[in-house]
Structure 1
Amino acid sequence: MSFDTPLYLCGPVREPKQMLADQEYSGHTSIHDDSMAEKLGFRAGPIEGPTHFSQFAPLLAEIWGQTWFERGCFSAHFQNMVVEGEQVRAFIERPAPGATRVRAWAEKADGTPVLEASASLGPDAGESLLDQRMAKLRPPEKLVILSDLHVGMTGARDEKVRMDHDQHMGNLYPFSLAQKLEGITENSPWYSDPATTPWGRAIIPMEMVSVLAEYTSKEAEFPVKQPVIGLFADQEIRMIDGPLFLGEDYLIRREIVALSESKRTESYWVLSSIYDASGKTLKAQMLLNHATLKHSYANYEVEASA
């Protein structure tokens, strides 16, 4: 007997942890601070979007195994914020044999959408969700906060990064991987014990690839007007020659690949390319839509009407 009924894989309900309450940038707290979030009209400081990526790792490892960690791409559009104490569940389509792209999404326990995504194996899986979203972007009419940015602008320098097990990741990420693993929704010995992995090295979890890629982002010196509050609206992490390893030196190069605008935000889309220490071998990439909140910039109305 055969059916054409679509089937899905889902993980357990989890309560992701908020670890950015003490985050600072440009001399002020971020949207992840409860009091700052409330000033901006949100009920509490949200959990950072890539925290949810960990809930998909067991599902994608189930269908693609070791290859997911070497050539996997997770491409997500964040739909609704999650605060600590709320429950979240991850879902993916069960792919046909040989398929290299699936639809993925996460929901709160009450069914509220958290994110929509595509998960794929490169390099021949076709367009990712963010490829499709970027293709539909309209040029912004008039930028204020981002008026000094342009598509094609590159970071000021090559940025040297690494992540060690007990390394504090700075004001942007005021914790270490060891602390993250105490609260991560889906832990694995692969994240801490080199003897358990196929590569003989402990690997960086996908949600912490985001931390590695943003750790030195200030060095890019993109001229975004300050002070302003931003959030992640879209994010894609793509392994090209993965995984990324703990205790390994990498080099990051950044480029602004799109600018966009909505009623409430101005956005700059940054492609961060992570190379080996020599700068010759591309290991991974992160595409991130930094959405800056117009009403968080004090001079917005004055400059917009000038």
Structure 2
Amino acid sequence: MSFDTPLYLCGPLREPKQMLADQQYSGHTSIHDDDMAEKLGFRAGPIEGPTHFSQFTPLLVEIWGQDWFERGCFSAHFQNMVVEGEQVRAFVERPAPGATRVRCWAEKADGTPVLEASASIGDAGPSLLDERMARLRPPERLVILADLQVGMTGAEEERVRMDADQHMGELYPFSLNQKLERITENSPWYSQADVSPWGRPIIPLEMVSVLAEYSSKQAAFPVRQPVIGLFADQEIRMIDGPLLVGEDYLIRREVVALSESKRTESYWVRSRIYSADGSQLKAEMLLNHATLKHSYADYPQA
């Protein structure tokens, strides 16, 4: 007898750690600072969204094996913030034989949704964020982002790398080794060249976000300041992965969408990560930077 009942994998409850309490940008602390978060109406500084991506990696490797690190795509919409001390569990729907895309989600211990996502391998068609972007309506009025345009590119090509003990700057005030001491799902592939299938330690999925944003200030997108922002949607796609610790890369950025909600103005940036000489596309990150309207002092009242 066979059934058409959808089945899923789930991981254990984990307590992700807050590592951005000291984050700074544009001369002020971020939403991840407890005091700043409370001023904006949140009960505490949230844990950064991509921190939760690590909980999915063992489940996706169970499905697709080593191929996940080389050609995998994780595409997430963040639903509710998590603060340190709360527990989170990751879920992945088991794919049908031959399927190249699966539904994923994360919940707090009490069932509160944290994120919804798609995970896919290779050329699997539209991702969750491709579908969300296709439904975006043109913004009626932009104030914070009035000087941005779709198609705008970064002011320069950015050269980046991530060494194991490299401090990742004001945006990410820690190193990879410090992250690995607190990451929810560690692997020797992240730190030991002799056991990595690629002969080098690889950058964990959540730290690809750190690498991609490390030099983002150089893009000089004209966002009006001071303003507080957060990640609302994020996709990380490996094209010729994985990305390697201690390897030089080149990043090119482009604004691919602008949107607006009652509380936010958003600019969606696609960051393409190339080999150091710029000839080979290795990975991409799509990030919806949502800026909070009420954090901008001169925002017009409706």
TM-score category of the 2 structures, normalised to the smaller one: over 0.9
Match of 1:24 in 2: 24
**Residue matched to 2:2:** 2
Q: Matches of 2:203 and 2:181 in 1, distance apart?
A: 15
* Alignment gaps of 5+ in structure 2: none
Task: Provide the rounded CA distance (Å) in 2 between the counterparts of 1:66 and 1:57.
Answer: 11
Deviation at 1:157, TM superposition (A): 0.3
SS at match of 2:206: helix
Task: Give 2:245's aligned residue.
Answer: 246
Q: Shift of the alpha carbon at 1:263?
A: 0.1
Give the drift of 1:243: 0.2
Name the SS of the counterpart of 2:194 in structure 1.
helix
1:3 Cα shift? 1.0
1:116 equivalent to 2:116? Answer: yes
| CA RMSD in angstroms, aligned pairs only | 0.7
- Displacement of 1:97 in angstroms is 1.6
Paired AA for residue 271 in structure 1: R
Alignment of 1:80-229 (within 5 A): 80-123=80-123, 125-229=124-228
Residue identity matched to 2:268: W
Tell me the TM-score normalised to structure 1 length.
0.98
Q: Distance in 2 between matches of 1:127 and 1:250?
A: 26
Q: What is the TM-score of this pair, normalised by structure 2? A: 0.99
- For residues 116-162 of structure 1, what are the alpha-carbon distances to aligned partners after superposition, in whole Å with 9 as ceiling and x for unaligned? 00000012x01100000000000000100000000000000000000
Amino acid at match of 1:196: V
Q: Which amino acid aligns with 1:247?
A: G
Residue 99 of structure 1, CA deviation: 1.0
Asked whether 1:44 is paired with 2:47, we answer no
Q: Which amino acid aligns with 1:261?
A: E
Q: Secondary structure at the match of 2:62?
A: helix
Shift of 1:96: 1.1
Amino acid at match of 2:234: Q
Partner of 1:265: 264
Matched letter for residue 115 of structure 1: L
Give structure 1 regions of 4+ aligned residues with deviation exceeding 2 angstroms: none
In the alignment, structure 1 segments of 5+ residues that lack a partner are none
Once the 2 structures are TM-superposed, how far is the Cα of residue 210 of structure 1 from its aligned partner?
A: 0.0
